[in-house]
Structure 1
Amino acid sequence: MSGADTKNFYRGGMMDLTDYRLEAAQLDDSWDQFVDSSPQGTLFCQQVFLSALTGCFRPFYVLKKNEPKAAVLLMETSDARTDLHELVIHSGPMLAGPDPQQNRAQALSEEFRVLSFIAAELPEKFSAIALSTHPDLPDLRPFLWHNYGSDGPKYDCDLRYTAYLDITGADAAGPLNDNPVYKLANKSRRQEIRYAAKAGVTTVEEVDLGLFESFYEAVFERQGLTPEPTTKEVSGTMAALADAGLLRMFVSRTASGQPGSIAVFGLDARRAYYLYGANDPALRDGHTGTAVLWDAFCALAKDVREVDLEGVNSPMRGYFKLSFGAELRLYHHVRLGC
Structure 2
Amino acid sequence: MNKKDDFRSYCTTQKDIPLFLTPAWMDLICGDNWDVLIEAKGKNIHGFLIFPLNQKLGFKRILQPQLTPYSGVWINYPDGQKDLTKIAFEKKVLSSLIERLPEFDELNINLYPTFTNWLPFYWKEFKQTTRYTYKIFKGQSPEALRLQVKDSVRRELSKAERTLQVYLSVDVKDLFDFKVRSFKEQNLSFNLSYSFIKRCVDWCISEGKGQILYAKDEKGAIHAGVFLVWDKNCVYYLFGAADPEYKNSGALTYLLWNGIEMAQSQTKDFDFEGSMLEPVEQFFRNFGATQLPYHQILKRNSLLLKLKSILGK
TM-score by length of 2: 0.85
CA distance in 1, matches of 2:116, 2:128: 12
Q: Deviations over 1:37-80 (max 9, x none)?
A: 3xxx4211223333332461112212245531111111111354
CA contact (8 A) 1:133 1:334 kept: yes
Q: Deviations over 1:123-180 (max 9, x none)?
A: x64343333211111111111122xxxxxxx21111111111125455x5xxxxxx11
**Aligned with residue 106 of structure 2, among 95, 114, 128:** 128
5+ residue gaps, structure 1, are: 1-22, 147-153, 173-178
Match of 2:10 in 1: 30
Distance 1:262 1:91, change over 3 A: same
5+ residue gaps, structure 2, are: 302-313
1:217 corresponds to 2:194: no
CA RMSD in angstroms comes to 2.4
Distance 1:245 1:190, change over 3 A: same
CA distance in 2, matches of 1:53, 1:156: 26
CA contact (8 A) 2:232 2:268 kept: no
Match of 2:53 in 1: 76
**Aligned with residue 233 of structure 1, among 184, 192, 196:** 196
1:153-168 alignment, distance < 5 Å? 154-166=125-137, 168=139
Match of 1:60 in 2: 37
The count of residues paired between Structure 1 and Structure 2 equals 295
1:194 corresponds to 2:172: no
1:272 corresponds to 2:255: no
TM-score by length of 1: 0.79
CA contact (8 A) 1:131 1:334 kept: yes
Give the residue type in structure 1 aligned to 2:154. Answer: R
Task: Return the offset for 1:272.
Answer: 0.6
Q: Deviations over 1:21-41 (max 9, x none)?
A: xx954462323544x43xxx4
Distance 1:167 1:264, change over 3 A: farther
Q: Deviations over 1:190-226 (max 9, x none)?
A: 121122224x222122322222222223223434543
Q: Of Structure 1 and Structure 2, which has the larger fraction of its residues in helix?
A: 2
Q: Percent identity?
A: 18
CA contact (8 A) 2:53 2:60 kept: yes
Q: Secondary structure at 1:29's aligned position in 2?
A: helix
Structure 1 or 2, whichever has the larger Rg, is 1
1:95 corresponds to 2:75: yes
Q: Secondary structure at 2:265's aligned position in 1?
A: coil
1:1-338 alignment, distance < 5 Å? 25-26=4-5, 28-34=8-14, 36-37=15-16, 41-54=17-30, 56-64=33-41, 66-78=43-55, 80-96=60-76, 98-100=77-79, 102-122=81-101, 125-146=103-124, 154-166=125-137, 168-169=139-140, 172=142, 179-198=143-162, 200-337=163-300
Q: Deviations over 1:222-252 (max 9, x none)?
A: 3454322333222221111001011122111
CA contact (8 A) 2:175 2:226 kept: no
Give the residue type in structure 2 aligned to 1:71. Answer: F
